[in-house]
């Protein structure tokens, strides 16, 4: 099983960052690579089991199911149902932790998945760099100077 992990410190209170990222349908608002997103069957974007269906700016389409959402832990866990990446059993968690020194946020994003052995290293690097790190950097930019 392949594992990906990225983290970043965001110069904003965790509650402010969570207010943005807890919306399972808000990827186009805070990532640079999602063109549009919708929740299937008109379900609420914070309803466990809802499916977000989104297109990437490069033309790919991904469907993900929300598995867990905790306002207490400021975390969400989701699974990929369909993706052009060639991953199976993909489950990821995005979690925010308040940093009391400076009222900042420690954000961590991790995933585990199965893939063809010859593609595993490439997928780990791609997801780590082009998805997790890119999205966390976008959050850092969005909240830069927000104090």
Q: Does the structure show a pLDDT above 60 at 147? A: no
In this predicted model, what pLDDT tens digit does every residue of 130-144 receive, in sequence order?
A: 999 999 999 999 999
Which stretch of DSSP H or E encloses residue 139?
helix 134-143
For residue 60, give every residue at least 6 positions away whose Cβ sits within 8 Å of its Cβ, in sequence order, or none: 83, 84
**34-39/2-10 β-pairing:** unpaired
pTM passes above 0.85: yes
Provide the b/e sequence for 78-98 (b: ≥16 CB within 10 Å). Answer: bbbeebebebeebebbbbbee
14-21 vs 134-143: helix axis angle to the nearest 10? 120
pLDDT at 17: 97
Domains along the sequence of the chain with CATH = 2-143 (3.30.530.20)
**Which residues, in sequence order, are bridge partners of residue 102?**
none
CB 79 within 8 A of CB 65: yes
Q: Which pLDDT score is estimated for 97?
A: 98
Torsion of CA 39, 43, 45, 48, to 10 degrees: -110
Residues 52-92: tens digit of each pLDDT: 999 999 999 999 999 999 999 999 999 999 999 999 999 99
pLDDT of 69: 98
Cα angle 66-44-49, degrees, rounded to a multiple of 5 = 30
């Amino acid at each position: 099983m392949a594992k990906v992990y990225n983290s970043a410190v965001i110069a904003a209170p965790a509650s402010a960052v969570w207010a943005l990222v807890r919306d399972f349908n808000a990827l186009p608002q805070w990532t640079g690579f999602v063109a549009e997103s919708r929740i299937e069957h008109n379900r609420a974007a914070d309803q466990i089991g809802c499916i977000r269906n989104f297109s990437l700016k490069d033309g790919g389409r991904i469907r993900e199911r929300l598995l867990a959402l905790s306002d207490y832990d400021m975390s969400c866990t989701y699974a990929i149902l369909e993706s052009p990446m060639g991953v199976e059993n993909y489950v990821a968690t995005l979690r925010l932790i308040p940093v009391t020194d400076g009222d900042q946020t420690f954000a961590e994003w991790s995933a585990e998945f199965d893939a063809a052995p010859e593609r595993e290293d490439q997928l780990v690097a791609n997801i780590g760099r082009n998805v997790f790190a890119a999205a966390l950097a976008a959050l850092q930019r969005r909240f830069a100077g927000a104090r």
